[in-house]
Structure 1
Amino acid sequence: MLTLLFAASTAMTVAWCTSMPSMDDMPMPGGWTLSMMWMPMGEPSWWGAALSFLGMWTVMMIAMMLPSLAPVLWRCHQGVSGHGAASPAWLAMIVGVGYFVVWAALGALVFSVGAALASFEMAMPALAREVPLGVGVVVLLAGALQFTRWKSHSLACCRREPERVPANAGAAWRHGLRHGLHCVYCCAGLTSILLAWGVMNLRAMMLVTLAITAERLVSAATPMVRTIGATAVMAGLLLVLRALGAA
């Protein structure tokens, strides 16, 4: 079941990403292009554009987060089975739905902020020229976030075994929401890198997915988190220097 879901969500995400180059991105001051997915181009309204983005975002998050979520769902399934619950698969599915509802809510926020920024950048050429520098700063700060106590605490919450196995639908739903919230906190820096690099960039998506999965599943999490952070800091510095050199 999880394998089929992962395969389907990945295939849909790849299809969306590979179709993006055929769309007319807008060249912007500063030598970058603005993706029209932030605009209601061809859509009946902003609501239509938002719903389209939200659907795309949710499917993309399933593809990206399922590799690190699958062990959590499996442990939930096994724990519920061990306690004699009648439908462990159903309760594990509710945990997963609750988890991705949190990511969908983040997607709504991302679209609101992204659409507002796109409008400002189109109206203010001076702001648009600073976007390459802003991207470098975001990547740099996201890398630095990997070294903070806040990141360590958030990651520990994601890796921690639940104290209680959800025994009913309500408990499973709450567990999914809680785990999703911990995950959003933990992935704040890496998600920021994805958004800065390009939310529909397949290479960025693959690298961020690998980073998230690695820091969740490897036995020695701290060295992995710091390696990812150091790599992001160096990449951010290079982007900042390149933006300043082009200014």
Structure 2
Amino acid sequence: MFRTELDSANTVPTEISRTIPRLAFKYGERIAHRMAAEDSLSAPELLRRITPPLAGLILVLVAAAWLVTWSTSELTLSRLAMVAPAETSGLLLFFGLMLVMMVAMMLPAALPMILAFRGITRLEAGRPTKPADNVATSLFVAPYFLVWAGFGVLALAALMALGLMGPLAAPWTFIPAATLIAAGVYQVTRTKEVCLTHCQTPMSFVTLHWRSGRLGSVRMGLRHAAYCLGCCWLFMIALFVAGAMSLVWMGVLSVAIFAEKLTTRPVAVSRGIGVVLLIVGGLLAAQGFLAV
């Protein structure tokens, strides 16, 4: 999916203009051109449109997610992983904590996309000044966090099964270094650039991939999750392996993800983060060699 849309990542406005006739046929000329005009809004501009009540609600939600994550930090993921395969309750707890963690880390960065989706639902209904369809928005948001939580559970299970996390990983002193270096290299790949471009231009993404109806909201949410996962999956692997699920690492990666998606120069910021990851990974590798 990423490669088939590779060339469109840098020409999204052109693609949007081509969708105007289709949108006009379905929603009317005025709504179609309004959708296209909204495409010029960047992620920071969308955030500046947040009303104080909504900003307060989001702040409370993110703070609550971080509080839950902090308060359950003693319930280590290694112990959770041991009970999860044998007990349904353990698996549900594992998934629930992972879901809360993903809300804490990813909601701030996903917010512009959510706002873009809410805005287009109003335009599609021909009611730009009326409340958004909260059900449609929920159906757009839910797949995003469920996909991330599912990825987290599967990734942790795989890493522990391979002995790359937990007590079995202790002798492998170079695993964290290799993970950070891999994450740094991925930052400069074309796949990363394409996924980041789609995440960093929310109005373009929503207009280009718009699907009507409740099922359309779910499909768009899954597509958004796929691009975001393609953008940040190695960040999460680095968090699991090198950061050992540390709250400090979580905070640092959250800031990095947020900065990538909200800056006016996403590629430059992404590559700068890649350089930092390469340096840290190289230092860890050197430390490992000296310890041998």
Matches within 5 A, 1:94-109: 94-109=139-154
Output one character per residue of 1:94-139: Cα deviation in whole Å (capped at 9) or x when no partner.
Answer: 11101112112212312321331349975x6xx6412x21111111
d(CA) in 2 for partners of 1:15, 1:93: 27
Q: Is the 2:78–2:166 Cα contact (8 Å) retained in structure 1?
A: no
1:38 alignment counterpart: 81
2:70 alignment counterpart: 14
Aligned length: 228
Match of 2:95 among 48, 54, 59: 54
1:26 alignment counterpart: none
Output one character per residue of 1:125-173: Cα deviation in whole Å (capped at 9) or x when no partner.
Answer: xx6412x211111111111111111111121122242215443111111
Question: Aligned pair 1:66/2:107, yes or no?
Answer: yes
Q: Is the 2:119–2:132 Cα contact (8 Å) retained in structure 1?
A: no
d(CA) in 1 for partners of 2:111, 2:210: 16
Scaled by the length of structure 2, the TM-score of the pair is 0.71
d(CA) in 2 for partners of 1:52, 1:196: 21
2:197 alignment counterpart: 156
Moved more, 63-72 or 190-199: 190-199
Matches within 5 A, 1:1-247: 1-17=57-73, 19-20=74-75, 35-40=78-83, 45=86, 47-84=88-125, 88-118=133-163, 128-130=170-172, 132-160=173-201, 161=204, 162=206, 163-247=208-292
Q: Is the 2:211–2:217 Cα contact (8 Å) retained in structure 1?
A: yes
Shift of 1:66: 0.2
d(CA) in 1 for partners of 2:166, 2:256: 30
Runs of 4+ in 1 over 4 A off after TM superposition: 118-122
d(CA) in 1 for partners of 2:87, 2:58: 33
Relative distance call for 1:176 and 1:105 in structure 2 (3 A) is same
Q: Is the 1:80–1:166 Cα contact (8 Å) retained in structure 2?
A: no
Identity rate, percent? 28
1:31 alignment counterpart: none
Q: Is the 2:155–2:237 Cα contact (8 Å) retained in structure 1?
A: no
Paired letter, 1:3: L
Question: In terms of Rg, which structure is larger?
Answer: 2
Relative distance call for 1:51 and 1:243 in structure 2 (3 A) is farther
Paired letter, 1:210: V
Paired letter, 1:134: I
> The residue matched to 2:162 in structure 1 has which SS?
helix
Unaligned runs of 5+ in 2: 1-56
Shift of 1:83: 2.1
2:6 alignment counterpart: none
Shift of 1:211: 0.6
d(CA) in 2 for partners of 1:229, 1:44: 35
* Aligned CA-pair RMSD: 2.5
Relative distance call for 1:120 and 1:165 in structure 2 (3 A) is closer
Unaligned runs of 5+ in 1: 24-33
Moved more, 97-106 or 208-217: 97-106
1:30 alignment counterpart: none
